[in-house]
Amino acid sequence: MTASDKTIDPGISGRLLDWYDAHARVLPWRAPPGEPPPDPYRVWLSEVMLQQTTVSAVKPYFARFVEAWPDVDALAAADEAEVMSAWAGLGYYSRARNLVKCAAEVAARGGFPQSETELRKLPGLGAYTAAAVAAIAFGERAVVVDANVERVVARLFAIEEPLPIARKAIRERADAITPHKRAGDFAQAMMDLGATICTARDPKCLLCPLADQCEGKRSGDPALLPIKPAKKARPQRKGRAYWIERDGAVWLVQRPGKGMLGGMRALPDDGWTARTDGSGNPPLAGEWASLGVVQHVFTHAALTLEVMRYCGKDTPQGQGDWWPVDRIDEAGLPTLFAKAARLAQAQAG
């Protein structure tokens, strides 16, 4: 029997909403079940932050952002470098650049559009984010499918095609059970079910409000679904970062706007990318000493970065800034270069 052959129980959404009313997670960007929708700015900001990032990692960043920029107009007027600095450590930095672009466009419009179709036209809003904002902030019936929802639906209907082929059937089934009323609560209920009950490993079927309807549970091992393709080995890359210190300050540069860690403040490096090892010359001629290496894993590559300290007296040329070493944590370095800075400081100490 294929997923398309299965009968959809119209009571699924009602049972799930009843469960959500009793068990909804308390999150700073949410309104409690049954309450008026939250500010669309907070919904949009949280959904962008949550892409490929955990709730626990996002919470402190969300708090800092809404304190610094409490509404979309404030974020639209923000300096992009400050936004990038506040984002440092959260990863996937193109999201931060799109935040500023999107905020500017929303401010120019006079507010967020309320339909999924119009939301899709904003910078950085793909199908998932547009649907989530439409449903949660504006109550529009929209089919919201993130990784948690994908897992719940694949198990609920025993969709056995491997990903990504299965995504078409998963979306069809998610559409079939999405109600017209309380669409935002339903979307969040599906997310919560996947995050807390229908987890990737060891799903807690005894606690699931949909267990009696779950084809995956009946199969005997719901944890096998969804079927994922074998992971490809990440390429291993090598590069160098350069630590140039003067009178208690270190030389930092701003990376190009496009590419990995685009627009971020960083140590100078030898031009490594996810596709190539670094091959460029150091920023100054003279003697350099190796301080050791740091490891970092990106989506498309794993990097071994050797940290080199300059032993000469020359001054770097070109654009850059001297940043106090004792305030390096305030520089907004991305995680990779924060690791390199900690290594350099440890070696100096």
Kindly list the catalytic residues. 47
Residue 225 CB contacts under 8 Å (≥ 6 apart), including other chains:
151, 154, 155, 158, 159, 160, 216
Encoded amino acid at 41, one letter: Y
* Token duo for residue 318: 């070109």
Give the C-alpha separation, 296 to 233, whole Å: 15
Q: Are 131 and 143 in contact (CB under 8 A)?
A: yes
Give per-residue burial for 248-270: e unless 16+ CB within 10 Å, then b: ebbbbbebeeeebbebbbbbbbb
Q: Are 306 and 240 in contact (CB under 8 A)?
A: yes
